[in-house]
Amino acid sequence: KPIEIKFHKSIDGTIKYSIQLHDKNHVEAILIPTKKTITACISSQVGCSLACTFCATGTLKLKRNLTPAEIYDQVFLLNEESTSIFGKRLSNIVYMGMGEPLLNYKSVLSSINFITSKQGLGMSPKRITVSTAGISKMIKQLGNDMVKFNLAISLHSAADNKRNILMPINEKINLAELRESIRNFYNKTGIRITYEYILFKGLNDKIEDAQKLVQFAKVSACKINLIEYNTVDGLNYKKSSNQTTNNFVKHLENQNLIVNLRRSKGKDIAAACGQLVNKLQ
């Protein structure tokens, strides 16, 4: 059981939990309510090794992987909180908190197996999404393991030179290799991929960037979540203007892609995407 829990509540209803583990390390988990759904965003590692340049969590060093029990404990805790605060159980779980889930592959899969079991929450795997920065070897493994949950790829650019800047992992695993692993995953599972794409002012938000994204996304059935950038202290990125964002969305929709524009939740308590660094301690 987690030892110590602190939480902050956002003006939009989002609640961030800082959970102290048995060894005094902390992870963060987020409860995100909407009218229809209540989503738990959970962590898979203490810190992160990938150092994506736009993400506050990336400024932390990776300390260790979480065990399957520690991952499940976050879900159990947030499900109890959801029931007591909102009168409803969790409807969705996203592995989008601290860490890279596919670098803790066995523990993540074990935790999902338990969450979906009768002993756990009995939740459908279709309500669970694992988000990866693009560990192609493990994406292939997910396909070979015929998983039933959803896969989201943090893409942020479909041009290698730009993605290298945002995500240093792209220098080791480039877009061509990533695309091949996605093709394999889709062919094996038939599960539609979600691409996460944060719009950064002047970097990846032009129409030519949208065109590259369209080309990349043709590899399989997919949907695209465009995300507003949440500023992080000390990082120079800025969010795209509303006009630029709308033009980008229109271009994708004209190519018959499914696009969701995600407005940020929990910004005022640093609970939004890329802001998880334990400010609560």
Please confirm, yes or no, whether 273 is among the known catalytic residues.
yes
**Rg value, the chain, Cα:** 18
Nearest in space to 217 (alpha carbons), one of 247, 189, 194, 185:
194
CA separation for the pair 227, 261 (Å, rounded): 6
What are the structure tokens assigned to 193, written together? Answer: 């991929």
CA separation for the pair 128, 92 (Å, rounded): 6
Please confirm, yes or no, whether 48 is among the known catalytic residues.
no
> Which among 41, 48, 52, 273 is annotated as catalytic?
273
Distances (CA, A) of 219 to 8, 102, 186: 40, 21, 9
Name residue 195's beta-bridge partners: 153, 224
E strand spans, 42-191: 45-46, 64-65, 92-95, 128-132, 150-154
> Which among 4, 28, 180, 208 is annotated as catalytic?
28
Beta-carbon contacts of residue 157 (< 8 Å; ≥ 6 apart): 163, 166, 197, 203, 204, 209, 212
What backbone torsions phi and psi does residue 53 show, to the nearest 5 degrees?
-75, -10
CA separation for the pair 233, 254 (Å, rounded): 36
CA separation for the pair 234, 39 (Å, rounded): 29
Which residues are marked as active site?
Answer: 28, 273
